[in-house]
Structure 1
Amino acid sequence: MRRVLPVVPLLLVVAGCSAPTSPEVTFYADGRTVVVKPTQYCDLRSEDCDVDPEAVGVLRVRPGRPVQISVPGELAKSAWSVKFTYRNAAGEPQEPLRSKLFTEREPRYAYTLVLPNRDDQLESVEVQQYGARIETSTTGAFDFVARGTWVLSVDDRR
């Protein structure tokens, strides 16, 4: 007599072996939304990394308009911040700025990026999640190394 093994348990084992997906960040501006995968996503020590330079999102953002950013729970319950570049009304690049650091002590699931002046033009946004690795900068300060980076490139055509 020949035995027939059930197929269902085998399918469950195969499905259970798939790698977890990288978290995604949602950017919203001017009535449009883009969901972005990380351009870099590493282990907690920021050593073993997956890199995808094509994962950059693009949104059209008019001068002075805010950008709303939503992050999933695994980011909200970790250390993360928003870094952005912009230029003033005369088209002159300004020093990049950064939001405050959000941490697991007060999880933050959303952030609204508002530019310093209403005529400023946003150029790019990076959501950066920090890992456990710390490095010393050239000034002697300590910097957390980004574990994950989600990038939004701004289309500023009018």
Structure 2
Amino acid sequence: MNRLTRWLLVIVVVLASAGAGVAAWALTRGTESTFPEISAYSHGKAVRIGPYVYCNVVNLNDCQNPQTQGQLSVTERYPVQLSVPTAIGRAPWQLLRVYEDERNSTTTMYRPNTELAVTIPTVDPQRGRLTGVVVQLVTLVQDQNGELRDAPHAEWSVRLAWP
């Protein structure tokens, strides 16, 4: 693949990511709730959570910080069922699973229009107890060195409470 083809491919990926982020932002404007909410469910209990931080996808310095954090009681017997609304699922988003030893945390990236719900075991045999989950809407940005990287422009957080 020659250099021009690679640059054209990079430009297409950046524009597609920005377009998906703008579409997610546009879909959430003017709804009853100012921001989309995620939901988490385990063993008969459910919580709906607004964003911890929500930035304008075009200007990542234009952010609102409601600092909402949900809490869900869990046990090792029942998984967490996480749901995101279509406004999030239509854009690239990622799920962070935070374990007792944060060095064992994992991240899963979801492409647009692929997942609206995820079932997450509360205990991983290698990582231990799950202590939280974080949903992030991501977009591609170019850093000072000209490198492309994912950057979150919105984040939802659920802390898991163990008995």
- With normalisation by structure 2, the TM-score equals 0.69
Asked whether the 8 Å contact 2:140–2:149 carries over to 1, the reply is: no
Residue 27 (structure 1) aligned with residue 40 (structure 2): yes
Query: Shift in Å at residue 132 of structure 1?
Result: 4.1
Which residue matches 1:78? 91
Which residue matches 1:155? 161
Q: Counterparts in 2 of 1:6-155, with a 5 A limit?
A: 20=31, 21-45=34-58, 46-53=60-67, 55-63=68-76, 65-87=78-100, 94-99=103-108, 101-104=109-112, 106-114=113-121, 115-117=123-125, 120-135=128-143, 142-155=148-161
Identity of counterpart residues, as a percentage?
A: 23
RMSD over aligned CA atoms reads: 2.7
CA distance in 2, matches of 1:108, 1:48: 28
CA distance in 1, matches of 2:77, 2:141: 35
Q: Which runs of 5+ in 2 are unaligned?
A: 1-28
- With normalisation by structure 1, the TM-score equals 0.71
SS at match of 1:75: helix
CA distance in 2, matches of 1:149, 1:127: 6
CA distance in 2, matches of 1:59, 1:112: 14
For this pair of structures, how many residues does the alignment match? 131
CA distance in 2, matches of 1:135, 1:65: 41
Structure with higher helix content: 2
Q: Provide, for residues 72-107 of structure 1, a one-character-per-residue CA deviation record: whole Å limited to 9, x for no partner.
A: 1111010101102113xxxx55521112x1122x43
CA distance in 2, matches of 1:48, 1:71: 23
The 4+ residue runs of structure 1 with deviation greater than 3 A are: 134-137
Query: Shift in Å at residue 63 of structure 1?
Result: 2.7
SS at match of 2:110: coil
CA distance in 2, matches of 1:24, 1:130: 16
